[in-house]
Each structure stands twice: as structure tokens, then as C-alpha cells.
Amino acid sequence: MGAPIIHPSATVDPGAELGEDVVVGPYAVIEDHVVIGARTRIDALASVKRYTTMGEDNHVHSYAAVGGEPQDLKFHGEESHLVIGDRNRIREFTTLHRGTEDGGGITRIGNDNLLMAYVHVAHDCVVKDHIVMSNNATLAGHCVVDDYAIIGGLSAVHQFVRLGRHAFVGGMSGLAQDLPPWMLAVGNRATVQSPNIVGLRRAKVSMEVLSAFKQAYRLTWYSGMPRPDALLQLEAEYGYLPEIMEFIQFVRESRRGVLPGDERKKATV
């Protein structure tokens, strides 16, 4: 363990705190009120703006802009923060913005996330752990993305939308409502297409859980039952499965409402 290694051409404000073995590349810029944890790499021409706190073992690639001011007309320069956890890979030209006063003042990025090139995370978002955001994926303000979600390239998520655990968003999709855990959505005006079968298998869930999610999909979107009744029936059949109860609770608590199903599938589901 040793002192930070800072390229002579980099600009590091004296008010920044750099942990052991941090590496700062050529022409990178690190502003004041920044904390960067041990063994983090800031590549050439990347910038880490004020009021950013970053954990250990992160890698910020060239031209990324981390901790910029929010793109919000209500923001007037007040102090707000971006808090990033550990072991995140922040690829080229990614933009991560601080919070706003109305949104609680903090944007949070968790641990072990991959944010590919040109990703944008807006003010007051919460991006949890083990998430993949593909190239040009975009979160508007106040979004919440739960663990292990995957957002395909060129997709946009409306403000205040939540994506559940292990949710999957196909490429070039636009989401205006919540996507429950373990579900897959795609489309310009995205609709729920199926359970995230690949994600369920990768997680090595039991065949019982897999079958339960197929039933959850049918009951919730295609049974014709009022949704509260569909959820009650699902709970009666599979309420002993924690994954299904997580799904039920998510749908019940959704403030924006969940994405609709695909009308073209009614006759086949």
C-alpha cells in the first residue's frame, strides 16, 4: 500500500482526499470536496466533480464526468452529493449527476456495477448493486434500480420509475412505469413480455420458482382479473416463496403503476 500516483499533467485540488494506491491519469481533473477510496483508477481526461465520494477499487475510464451538477431547472448551485460504492466500472463518456434539494440531495451508486459507455444517471437516482447499464442507457431523475437489473443499450427510463431485482430491459426501450422484479420488458413504449427466464436460470432458482413466475406473469397481465384479485390468488398459491412475495409487494406498492402487458399476446398466454 502506498501514496496515490498522480500524473504530472493531472489537476487535483488540494481539498480532495485520495486513498492509498489511487492512480490518476494524464489530464484528469479532480475537484475539491472529493473523496476517492483506495486502489481506484481515474483514467486520462476523466473528471470527478466536487461533492463526490467514491469507495474502493473503482475504475473511471477516460472522458467520464462523475459528480456533475444536476440538469434540473430547480437547481441553483446548492450543495448536494454523489455517493459511489466499491468496485464499479464507469466507462467512457458516462455522466453521473449529484442530487437536488427536492430529491434529498444525494444520488447513490452501489457496488459492483458496470456502467458502459455514454450511460447517464440523473439526479437523485439510486442504483443499487450488481447492475449492468449498457451503452447509452439513461435514467431520468429519482429512478431506483434494484440489484442485478440489466438495462439494454439506447434505453431510457422515465423519472421516478423503479426497476425491480433481476429485471431486464431490452435495448432501445422506453419505460414510463415500474418494471417488477424478475420480469422482462422491451419496446419503444415498453411492455412486459415475459418473466426473465434467462435471469432466473442464471440465478439457479428451483423449477418451482420458475413455474411460479410464469403463473405470476399470466395472472398479473393476462387473466382479465382485477389486479388486486390476481395478486391475492397468486399469494394464495405461491405466498410461501420469498421471490413471489417480493414480486407481489413490489406491484402493490408501485406508485407509478407497473408497465402494461403486450396486447398482442393475450390470446397466446
Cite the active site residues: 123-124, 141
Q: What is the DSSP string of 80-145?
A: -EEEE-SS-EE-TT-EEE---TTTTSEEEE-SS-EE-TT-EE-TT-EE-SS-EE-TT-EE-TT-EE
Cβ pair 57, 86 in contact under 8 A? yes
**Torsion region of 193: left, alpha or beta (phi above 0 gives left; psi -120 to 50 gives alpha):** alpha
Q: Which three cell numbers stand for residue 198?
A: 434467462
Cβ pair 141, 122 in contact under 8 A? yes
Cross-strand partners of 97:
68
